[in-house]
Amino acid sequence: MPKINVADVPKVRGSGYPSPFDAPCAERVRQRLGDAGRLRDFGVNLMHLPPGNWSSQRHWHSHEDELVYVLEGELVLIEDGGETVLRAGDCAAFAKNSGNGHHMINRSGAMAVYLEVGSRAPADVTICSDIDMMSTNADGRFVHKNGEPYS
């Protein structure tokens, strides 16, 4: 059946970042709705971001378009050009290979809920803007920008 029972989709807390880069995202919760629906060409995640948490490290994608749509609460989008407040009903889109690092921070006092949509491009490389870290969709490992693994 195409209907996804969201309550049954596993909730994954935190991120896969190596320490200490995982700390700002430690309490975020992701539900992979696209995986639950067996989608292959694009991913959709339902995200819950508590006050004080980051959506991710600031990053951009080489081969993957990305879109976020805020369902509840308020987030601050941080990108190369500055900061923008996003509230319920707002969305932001990030074209592949823009080089414009972005992430969101919940600076409010309430939970923020948003959808995250990406194209799942196999050749994609995620480049972190502010730290020495990157990852490929091919293996999902986070490594230094020179390719060396984190110990």
Q: Do residues 101 and 60 touch, judged by C-beta distance below 8 A? A: yes
Specify if 108 maps to a domain. Answer: yes
pLDDT digits (tens, 9 = 90+) for 126-141: 999 999 999 998 888 9
Q: Count of residues for the chain?
A: 151
Specify if 145 maps to a domain. Answer: no
Q: Do residues 75 and 106 touch, judged by C-beta distance below 8 A? A: yes
CA atoms within 13 A on the CB side of 49: 31
Specify if 139 maps to a domain. Answer: no
- How many structural domains does the chain have? 1
Section 46-67 average pLDDT: 98
Range of the domain at 40: 13-122
Specify if 42 maps to a domain. Answer: yes
The CATH code of the domain that includes 100 is 2.60.120.10
Specify if 146 maps to a domain. Answer: no
Specify if 27 maps to a domain. Answer: yes
**1 — pLDDT class (breaks 50, 70, 90):** low
Specify if 57 maps to a domain. Answer: yes
Q: What is the mean pLDDT of the chain?
A: 96
Helix (H) or strand (E) holding 33: helix 33-36
Section 75-84 average pLDDT: 97
Whether the ω angle into residue 10 lies within 30 degrees of 0, i.e. cis, is: no
Specify if 4 maps to a domain. Answer: no
pLDDT at 138: 87
Section 46-61 average pLDDT: 98
Phi, psi angle pair for 93, to nearest 5°: -130, 145
Phi, psi angle pair for 106, to nearest 5°: -90, 100
Closest Cα to residue 104, out of 144, 51, 145, 65?
A: 51
